[in-house]
Amino acid sequence: MTGELRGSSPGKAPPTGGPNADRVIPLVVEHVAKSYDVGDRVVPVIGDLSLALDNSQIVSIVGPSGCGKTTLLNTLCGLLTPDSGRISWYGRAIIGQPQNVGYMLQKDLLLPWRTAHGNVMLGLEIRGVAANEARDRGRAMLDQLGLHGFADHYPSTLSGGMRQRVALARTLVNEPAVLLLDEPFASLDFQNKLLIESDTAKLVREGGRSLLLITHDVEEAVSLADRVIVLSKRPTQVKAIYDIELGIERTDMMAARDSRDFSKYVRQIWADLDVVLQ
Amino acid sequence: MTADTESGMSRATDPAARKSVPATVRRWQRLRSAALVLTTQCALLAVLLGFWHYMTTNNKQAAFMFGSPLAIAGFLEQMIKDGSLWRDSCVTGVETVLGFLVGNLIGTITGLSLWYSRFVSRVVEPFVIALGSIPIIALAPIIIIWFGTGLISKVAMSTLSVVIVALVTSYKGAVGVDADQINLMRTLGASKFQIFRKLIVPASLTDIFAGLKLTVGFALIGAIVGEFMSSSEGLGHAIFKAGSLYIIPKVFAALVATIALALLLTSVVGRIERFLMPWRRVH
């Protein structure tokens, strides 16, 4: 499935060819630790964390509030440097921002002076994609996410759900091999959330991309992911790992919620979190 | 691609449906409330002028001290007829606009570029505060010695009145940009210059324009203070000359022209703002 990575992002695509292509795991985190200095105290946030994200895999990370999920994400993105441990993107340690990785937060972070279309094209402009091509790809991406007719709207005229869709389009239009999403749907109402989750699952799985989803919504984690990693409270460690097998097409969030084992997983993960919370 | 999604979303907030009927109604409501504000403003002005007129008609001493609205109107008419109002307004207007442009250009560019280096901005900060605390009028004699009594000294005064405010507001705008937004640009692969050009500058526009509106008045004050010190023309000169001759209504007549100039320049800045920031027109 990794062959789906289109060649239109020259030089940015990870090595997908060759006999060992599928063995190169996109993201490997080994024994990462990170602490902050608060005044004269050192507060450990991430204790000792190891995880991996495979090609075409969706991994969800859930944990109690304040367990350092966002710190983890910023560390993975190269915005923070870990105190110890190793982060490898495609088998190599990277200084600075990893390439071909899309990043999306709960805040849509749309630029108010750009239209929906302008916001989607931001990444393409930065990478110097030709204007015509950027325009076409931006429009196509908005159409795919059901935003046809809203391309020329400013963010202030769009609803929360639509804004988050634009943010998703801005992330996906760069055709990232890996997506890092930090509670991207947390501020949406249930209906919008299900719809955008389904679209995300479809676009990620059809494109053969990998997705690391940080969330505190256990149902979202189970319905979207192939694997759910439960974190402990600070200093954060891996508490449990669940491989989710629902036995259905994994792009329909309603069907996922209706499937036989769904509530079993959710209950177990809740139990893990409860133990942690005591 | 997702039929259910698309219909469910666009039915709720179809752009065409939102615009259709209530738009005209809303425009009427807006016009009506604007008309109400304008009427009240005119009424307030009329009451004020009426009171002024009443107090000065039967009292020669008050008429001398405060001038009467009719006398002021008379002087305005006379100044229009002999062309001095137009000439003085143009002189002061040119000084103000030049000082406004030069001061804001220098101030804004400096303020924005301080975003580039935390080190430089920390080094520069106390100097900026020190310069900002100097009353510009105290510099007027030196400015006249340096730049002479012509146009340049007035523009210099006007520039000095503007530059620190422009610097501080634009710097505040630049450093106030959301850190997450900068991180997003970085993850999209933006260089520092791209972050500056595509994020910091447009994001600072709101603060820059707040500064521009504020500095219109400062630029005008600078130009008029400069004219007070030494000049042969301009509204400041007219005010100063009429004041020294105790022709109070003429002072007010020149002040009316000054106010008109300030309102004109402010409205021009407002128009440019609306033109440059169309995304803010939508609400």
How high is the pLDDT of residue B282? Answer: 56
SS (H, E, C) chain A: CHHHCCCCCCCCCCCCCCCCHHHCCCEEEEEEEEEEEECCEEEEEEEEEEEEECCCCEEEEECCCCCCHHHHHHHHCCCCCCCEEEEEECCEECCCCCCCEEEECCCCCCCCCCCHHHHHCHHHHHCCCCHHHHHHHHHHHHHHCCCCCCCCCCHHHCCHHHHHHHHHHHHHCCCCCEEEEECCCCCCCHHHHHHHHHHHHHHHHHCCCEEEEEECCHHHHHHHCCEEEEECCCCEEEEEEEECCCCCCCCCHHHHHHCCCHHHHHHHHHHHHHHHHC
Q: How far is B131 from chain A (nearest CA, A)?
A: 34
Q: Do A77 and B187 touch (CB under 8 A)?
A: yes
pLDDT at B183 > cutoff 70? yes
Q: What is the pLDDT of residues B71-118, one digit of tens each?
A: 999 999 999 999 899 999 999 999 999 999 999 999 999 999 999 888
Of A101, A109, A114, the CB nearest to B180: A109
Q: A260: domain CATH number?
A: 3.40.50.300
Of A79, A114, A146, the CB nearest to B186: A79
Whether A14 is covered by a domain: the verdict is: no
| Residues in chain A closer than 8 A to B282 (CB atoms) | 154, 156-157
Q: How far is A253 from chain B (nearest CA, A)?
A: 13
Q: Do B2 and A79 touch (CB under 8 A)?
A: no
CA nearest to A78 within chain B: B187
How high is the pLDDT of residue B222? Answer: 93
Kindly state the average pLDDT of the residues B142-153: 90
Q: Do A198 and B279 touch (CB under 8 A)?
A: no
Of A105, A125, A157, the CB nearest to B180: A105
Q: Do B13 and A148 touch (CB under 8 A)?
A: no
How high is the pLDDT of residue A91? Answer: 79
* pLDDT tier, B223 (very low <50, low <70, confident <90, very high otherwise): very high
B176 touches chain A (CB under 8 A): no
CA nearest to B195 within chain A: A126
A198 touches chain B (CB under 8 A): yes
What does the block give as tokens for A238?
Answer: 């891996």
| Residues in chain A closer than 8 A to B184 (CB atoms) | 103, 105, 109
Of A126, A150, A156, the CB nearest to B190: A126
A148 touches chain B (CB under 8 A): yes
Q: Do B198 and A99 touch (CB under 8 A)?
A: no
List, run by run, the mean pLDDT of 10-residue segments along chain A (278 residues).
Answer: 36 42 75 84 84 87 80 83 84 77 86 93 90 91 88 89 90 88 85 86 87 88 87 81 78 78 82 62
pLDDT at B12 > cutoff 50? no
Whether A44 is covered by a domain: the verdict is: yes
Q: Do A146 and B6 touch (CB under 8 A)?
A: yes
Tell me how far CA of residue B194 lies from CA of A11, A105, A167, A180, B246, in angstroms: 20, 21, 19, 23, 59
How high is the pLDDT of residue B1? Answer: 40
Q: How far is A233 from chain B (nearest CA, A)?
A: 24
Of B2, B181, B194, the CB nearest to A199: B2
Structurally, how many domains does chain A consist of?
1
Whether A51 is covered by a domain: the verdict is: yes
Of A113, A174, A202, the CB nearest to B202: A113
How high is the pLDDT of residue B27? Answer: 87
ipTM beyond cut 0.85: no
Q: Do B282 and A156 touch (CB under 8 A)?
A: yes
R_g (Cα) of chain A, nearest Å = 19
Q: How far is B175 from chain A (nearest CA, A)?
A: 16
Of A79, A105, A159, the CB nearest to B13: A159
Nearest CA to B9 out of A211, A108, A44, A161 is that of A161
Kindly state the average pLDDT of the residues B161-180: 92
Q: Do B277 and A113 touch (CB under 8 A)?
A: yes
Whether A265 is covered by a domain: the verdict is: yes
* Mean pLDDT estimate for chain B: 87
Whether A178 is covered by a domain: the verdict is: no
Whether A11 is covered by a domain: the verdict is: no
Residue A257 lies in domain: 23-100+210-278
How high is the pLDDT of residue A18? Answer: 41
How high is the pLDDT of residue B172? Answer: 92
How high is the pLDDT of residue A275? Answer: 54
Q: Do A112 and B198 touch (CB under 8 A)?
A: no
Q: Do B186 and A126 touch (CB under 8 A)?
A: no
| Residues in chain A closer than 8 A to B203 (CB atoms) | 111, 113
A123 touches chain B (CB under 8 A): yes
Whether A269 is covered by a domain: the verdict is: yes
Whether A16 is covered by a domain: the verdict is: no
d(CA B175, CA A115): 24
